[in-house]
Amino acid sequence: MANAKYTAGRAAEYQIRDLYKERGFKVVRSAGSKTKIDLVALHKCGVVIAIQVKRIKKGTQADVQRLVKEFLTNLPMETKDTPIVQMLHVKLNGKWQSTSVGDSRIA
């Protein structure tokens, strides 16, 4: 049986996954991958989004900024042709915030 923290994190990932699906994206969840990317969203127009989802029950905007910096630092991508948008979705004190933390290009 999964622990409560894992279950809550998975539920948050499903919320974001469903948001992208409603907007016409195909979404893949990287469950158990131990990477900084929780979801990859692909759109028929060619947009690719690498997504990290976090929950912070009690925190501040400074916590979100720390996560943005950490996400950028720990997201290795070989860049060349395909545009990749990196999104961080944080549920801070019960409210969702979304931050585009840059884009890069992968071969």
Structure tokens at 25: 């994206």
Whether residue 87 has pLDDT greater than 70: yes
pTM of the model: 0.77
Confidence of residue 105 (pLDDT cuts 50, 70, 90): very low
Tens-place pLDDT, residues 31-46: 766 777 889 999 888 8
